[in-house]
Chains A and B, each alone.
Chain A
C-alpha cells in the first residue's frame, strides 16, 4: 500500500476531528484537543526517489529529517531549510509547521523548496499538485498552501523537494558575550557579504548578553576569508538559536524587517530570551502571559507581527491583528478544502 492509500484508509477509519502527527513534536507545544483522533504518520518513512543529477527527491511525509539529511549527504546534497543545527522531526512536519522560515535573507524557504506533493483531503480525495521537476507553473500551486498549514488543510503523503549542492566548505561560528552595539555591527557586516550566509542568527539572553551565530559556506578560500575578515569564532558542530518552548511561560514567533531590530529589542522585556532567525523570523521566550500580552500590544508599533506559538489553552494562536482580507481568504481556503473542519 502506498502512502496516499495508507493515509486515505486511516482518514476514512477515523471519526470526528483528526490531528495529524509526524514525530509528535508539535504535541509538546500544543496538546491535541481531547476529542481529536491522532493520525500517526511516522511509519510512512520511505525515500521514494533521490535523483541526485536533477537535485530533486520524493519522500514520504514521515521520513525523519536526520534520515533524509544522511541520505543527501552521500550525494553531496542538502535540503537548505533545516534552520541550522541538527534537525529533529519529520519532513512532513517541517513543511507543515515551517518553524524556521528561510535561514537568512535570500535563503531558501520551504515555499521555494517544495516542488509538489501527493496529498489526501479530509474526505479521502487523493490529489496531486505541483511537479517533480525544479520548475513548473502548471495549475495552481496548491502545494504551497501546505507550508505552515499545521496539517489543517490536507494531509501530505509524499513531498517532491528541490535539493541544493552541499557547499564544498562550511564553517559554523558563534560569537557570544557581545554587547548590543557589537552584535548589531557584526550582523550588519555579515549581511554585506557578497554571498549571503545560509544561516545567520542573533540571540539576546535574559542577562542582556548578545550572540551572533551562523554558517559561512562556499569554496574553502572564501569561507576562510569570511571567518578571518569578521573575527568569527569557529565551532565544530552545527548549531541553532531556535528556541524550545520554555518549561513555564510562552513562546512567541514573529516577523520583522532587519531595520526594525533595534526597536524590536527595545519592546522585548529584558527577562525574555530573544532570537532573530534570519530571513525575518524571530522568537521570544516569555516568562508569563502578562509579558506576552504587553509585547503583542507593542509589536504593531515596531512594526512587527507575532503570534503565540506555544501558550496555554485558549491563548495559543493569539497574535497581532491579522489583515481581515487575508483572514477571510484563509477561512475560505479552509472551508474549500476541509468543509467539515475535520483536520484540527
Chain B
C-alpha cells in the first residue's frame, strides 16, 4: 500500500481511490465484456499533478493507465489489477481560445461537445464528432484518433490536433507539435505517431486543436431504400460525382426498427431495408446545387422516399435515430458488441452480404449502422453476456467479420482502436516484423512498458513482464478467447 499512501500524500484522500467498492466504476469501458478492477484510481487536475503521480509510479515501477470518460469500445482504458488508473476527467478547463487563429488549447478531460459549446459564440466548432461526443473527452479522442459521422469531409482527430503537452511515463514533460501547424519545422512528426497510440505512450495534459468555422448553411437529406445494395450504390454515385458531403451514414433495417421502437424514434420508414442520411454544409448556393444532385442520385437508385431538412429542429429529428442507434440497440438484448471494421468503399455491398451470412452461420443477432462514405462498418451483435455460449458465438462471429474486412483490403478498426479487445485480430493485418517495428516505437516512448501495458500489441511484442491483458481476457472469456477468439 506504499504507493497508495504516497499518491494520497500528493493529491489528498478524495482524489485517490483504492477500496474495492470505490473502484467499481473503473472496472471497464464501453466494451463491457472485459472487466477488471484497477489497483487504484487517481484524479489529478493539472499537468504538475500528473507529473507528480507519474514520478511516484515510476519510482515504484507501478504500471498505469490513462483514462478519459471511459467510452472507449475496445477496452483501452481498462486496467489490470496491478495498475493505477490516471483519470483525467477532472482536467476539464478550456485554457485558451484564439478566434483569429482558430485554435483552442484544452485540458484532456474537456468533453468533445463542451469544446464546441465553448466556441460556438464565435461561430466556430471542433469538427471531429464521435457519436459519443456528449461524453467522451478530447484526451480520449487524441489517444484513439477518433472520427465520427462528419470525418468523411473533415477528417479524423489527427487532422485537427496541432500540439500537445505530454507527461512521459517517467514523469518528464514533452511539448509535441506546434500550435501553428501540424509538424514543427525541426523535423519528426512525433505528435503524428502519438495520436492514436491508445494511451500507451504517455498522458496528454494539454492539447491544442484546430477549430473550424460554422458553415453558413447545413442541410440534411434522408432517403430510404428497398435494398441495402441500392443505398450503397447511391453512396458510390455521390462520391464518384466528386461530391464531398459532410456525412454519409447508413442504417439497416434491424437498426431502423430498434430506433423506431425506442425513445430515439425519428420517423424512419420501418419497411425500408436501409436509410441513407446525407449531410451537406457550405455556402447557400453550393448546398442547394449539391442537394439537387444528390436527390437525383436517390431517384436513380430507386429510393422509396426521401426528405430534406433545413431547419435545426428538422435536422435534429433526422439525426436523432442515427445518434441514438447504439442506445436503441440496448432494447434488443442485454449486451451489445460494437464491431468497427473498414472495407474499401467500393466493396461495401459485398462486405454487408458476407457479414449477414457470417451472422446467420453463428446464430447471432446482427444490425448495421455505419459511416458509408469511409467504408467504416459497425456491425453490432446483440447478445446476452450472461450466456457463455452466446458470448462465445458473438466473439467468433466478430473475429470472422474483421477477418473479412482485412481480406477485402480493409482494416480491423476504423476508429475504436485495438485496445485489449482486438489483440487477437492484429496479426490479421500485421506480421511479426511490422509488430516488432511498432514495439520499437513504443519502447522509445515507454522503455519500461508501464504505460497502459498489454494493449495494442499482441503479447509477444509487448513487454513480456507487464503484458497482463491477455491473461485478463482469458479470465473473462475463457482460455479459447485469449488464444484466438474462436
Interface residues of A (CB under 8 A from B): 51-56, 76, 98, 101-102, 105-106, 108-109, 111-112, 121, 125-129, 131-142, 144-145, 147-150, 153, 164-168, 192, 194-195, 218-219, 221-222, 225, 253-260, 279-281, 304-307, 309, 319, 322-323, 325-330, 332-333, 335-337
Contact = CB atoms under 8 A, between A and B. Distances in A.
B444 A131 contact: no
Contact of A259 (B100, B151, B172, B444): B100
7 contacts: A108-B159, A127-B433, A141-B158, A164-B244, A194-B216, A222-B286, A256-B180
Interface stretch (B23-31, B301-309, B322-330, B412-420): B412-420
B1 to A, nearest CB: 32
B410 interface: yes
Given A139-B418, A218-B286, A329-B190, A133 B344 contact: yes
Given A139-B429, A330-B187, A194 B282 contact: yes
Interface residues of B, number: 92
A51 to B, nearest CB: 7
Contacts of A326: 174-176, 184, 186, 190
B125 interface: no
A120 to B, nearest CB: 10
A257 B179 contact: yes
B216 to A, nearest CB: 5
B114 interface: no
Given A149-B187, A257-B101, A54 B445 contact: no
Interface string B174-209: 111011111111111110110111000000000000
Contacts of B212: 106
Residue in A55, A141, A319 with the greatest tally of chain B CB atoms within 10 Å: A141
Contacts of B145: 137, 141
Nearest to B429: A138
A260 B100 CA distance: 10
Interface stretch (B63-71, B251-259, B434-442, B477-485): B434-442
Contacts of A255: 178, 180-181, 184-185
Across the A-B interface, give the 3 residue pairs with the lowest CB-CB distance, nearest first.
Answer: A325-B174, A280-B181, A144-B192
Contacts of B174: 323, 325-326, 328-329
Given A111-B192, A139-B438, A257-B103, A102 B182 contact: yes
B188 A134 contact: no
Interface in B236-295: 236, 239-240, 242-244, 282-283, 285-286, 289-290
B375 interface: yes
Contacts of A166: 242
A53 B185 contact: no
A195 B282 contact: yes
A140 B438 CA distance: 6
Contacts of A149: 187-188
A144 B182 CA distance: 11
Given A125-B436, A329-B168, 15 more contacts: A54-B345, A125-B437, A127-B434, A128-B434, A135-B415, A140-B438, A145-B189, A194-B282, A221-B289, A255-B181, A305-B185, A322-B186, A325-B168, A326-B184, A328-B172
Contacts of A281: 181, 185
Contacts of A165: 239, 242-244
A175 to B, nearest CB: 22
Contact of A148 (B168, B187, B282): B187
B343 interface: yes
B445 A53 contact: no
Contacts of A53: 236, 239-240, 344-346
B341 to A, nearest CB: 10
A147 B410 CA distance: 23
